[in-house]
């Protein structure tokens, strides 16, 4: 799938116009209209006629949303910040290559850690993929866990990129991690804010949560708004991926419930023991996961076969034995 050069030129042109022409406008309403309407239009043009079950299409949808969110933030809500066009462009396109200075990344592991982790993730990811496509489609909590395991182990691709960036920059820069051991999360806020999908999480935090929290002096409003917008993003992804209207409302409800859960945690006066927090967090994740994962699991093998992970069919890579039962 190749995007039209006119679409790419349109996006880049809108970025230039936002910086040089729209951002200096004093009237907030005018800035809002001139920024948001082209973002919606370009997102619609970019994402129309995508085939279902196609991973590259879904990635493009996410990129359109992330670029739009950054543009809206920097053009409408951050005009008081002095930005060169270079820094403006870098912030908007950061999602394409999320590089950051090594000193700004907390708890960064040595390169040798990645060299150990990559083959482990690769083996587990290939194993979970082959097990999934060998079984009939049915929704169960075991299948949900297997799907989740596949999702967090596919990050071996980005771990490889991290090694290259750190070697070529002599350990001055690194790549933002996709996940940071989400199974260790002791709360929903830790899961979403620090451990899972840190690419999208970073953009949503910097461009939605923090501006809204600052404007309304309320973390609750900022957090709930962030989850609502994230829910709408995933609704768009689900609509294109599955072409099934019935999956849209459950997808949105998943993120809305998690937004409420995070707001409840933020305002809770009681400090729970760590093991209680871990149990409650993952029970809640497991109970609500069918809302968002059921459409993917129901499509089963056709969806997985059409979107195999990298290196899954390389002969020389060892294969873990597949269980003789289905999850």
Q: Is residue 285 located within the same domain as residue 184? A: yes
- Report yes or no on 278 lying in a domain: yes
With bands split at pLDDT 50, 70 and 90, how would you rate the model's confidence at 66?
Answer: very high
The per-residue pLDDT of the chain, averaged, comes to 88
Higher pLDDT, 29 or 143: 29
- Say if residue 125 is exposed, middle or buried (CB neighbours under 10 Å; 0-12, 13-18, 19+): buried
Decide if pLDDT at 21 tops 80.
Answer: yes
Q: What is the number of domains present in the chain? A: 2
Cβ contact 208:73 at 8 Å: yes
Residue 68, pLDDT score? 96
Claim to verify: residue 92 and residue 116 sit in the same structural domain = no
Residues 162, 282 within the same domain: yes
Which of these three, 74, 96, 118, is where a domain ends?
96
Pair (28, 165) in one structural domain: no
| Domain termination residue (choose one: 96, 130, 163) | 96
Identity of the highest mean pLDDT range in 37-51, 105-119, 143-157: 37-51
Instruction: Please check the confidence at residue 2 and state whether its pLDDT lies above 70.
Output: no
Expressed as residue numbers, the domain containing 6 is: 1-96
Q: What angle do CA 8, 9, 11 make, to 5 degrees?
A: 65
Residue pair 71/92 in contact (Cβ under 8 Å)? The answer is yes
Question: For tokens 């970019």, what's the residue?
Answer: 46
**Per-residue pLDDT at 311:** 83
Residues paired with residue 101 on neighbouring β-strands, in sequence order: 173
């Amino acid at each position: 799938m190749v995007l039209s050069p006119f679409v790419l030129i349109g996006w880049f042109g809108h970025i230039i116009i936002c910086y040089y022409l729209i951002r200096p406008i004093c009237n907030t309403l005018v800035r809002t209209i001139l920024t948001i309407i082209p973002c919606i239009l370009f997102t619609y043009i970019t994402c129309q006629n995508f085939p279902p079950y196609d991973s590259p299409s879904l990635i493009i949808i996410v990129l359109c949303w992330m670029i739009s969110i950054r543009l809206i933030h920097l053009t409408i809500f951050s005009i008081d910040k002095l930005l060169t066009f270079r820094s403006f462009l870098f912030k908007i396109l950061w999602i394409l290559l999320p590089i950051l200075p090594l000193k700004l990344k907390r708890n960064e592991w040595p390169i040798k850690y990645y060299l150990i982790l990559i083959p482990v993730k690769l083996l587990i990811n290939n194993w979970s993929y082959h097990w999934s496509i060998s079984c009939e489609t049915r929704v169960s909590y075991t299948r949900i866990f297997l799907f989740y395991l596949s999702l967090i182990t596919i990050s071996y691709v980005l771990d490889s990129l991290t090694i290259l960036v750190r070697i070529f920059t002599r350990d001055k820069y690194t790549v933002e991690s996709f996940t940071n051991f989400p199974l260790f999360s002791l709360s929903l806020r830790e899961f979403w804010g620090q451990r899972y999908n840190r690419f999208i999480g970073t953009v949503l935090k910097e461009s939605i949560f923090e501006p809204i929290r600052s404007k309304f002096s309320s973390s609750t409003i900022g957090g709930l708004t962030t989850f609502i917008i994230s829910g709408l993003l995933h609704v768009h992804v689900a609509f294109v991926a599955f072409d099934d209207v019935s999956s849209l409302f459950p997808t949105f409800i998943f993120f809305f419930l998690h937004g409420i859960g995070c707001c409840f945690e933020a305002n809770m006066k009681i400090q729970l023991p760590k093991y209680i927090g871990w149990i409650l967090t993952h029970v809640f994740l497991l109970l609500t996961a069918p809302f968002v994962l059921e459409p993917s699991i129901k499509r089963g093998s056709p969806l997985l076969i059409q979107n195999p992970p990298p290196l899954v069919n390389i002969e020389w890579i060892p294969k873990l034995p597949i269980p003789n039962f289905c999850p």
